[in-house]
Structure 1
Amino acid sequence: MSEGTRLNKYISEAGVASRRAADRLIEESRVTLNGRIAVVG
């Protein structure tokens, strides 16, 4: 099984937001992945 990258880390490394800010964006349903809203899980 391959290891993935946490979405908040990816968003942070892309320079979009800090990891905590990325967590908030995900919780507020403001992040989509492949056309689907990302959820904390």
Structure 2
Amino acid sequence: MYPKVNFKNNYYENQILFFITMFNFYISLCKSTKIFPGYYLR
């Protein structure tokens, strides 16, 4: 899914893990607060 760079491999992995964590937190927050009720339930 993303290019494997040996020199900055750990940096890209940390950025992707951080992005996935924040994205999952944002989805759970939107679902709990019903900000976008129909967007994630298509």
TM-score by shorter chain over 0.5: no
Q: Which has the higher helix share?
A: 2
Which structure shows the bigger proportion of residues in strand conformation?
1
Q: Which has the higher contact order (CA 8 A, sep 6+)?
A: 1
Question: What is the TM-score when the length of structure 1 is the normalising length?
Answer: 0.32
Superposition TM-score, scaled by structure 2 size: 0.31
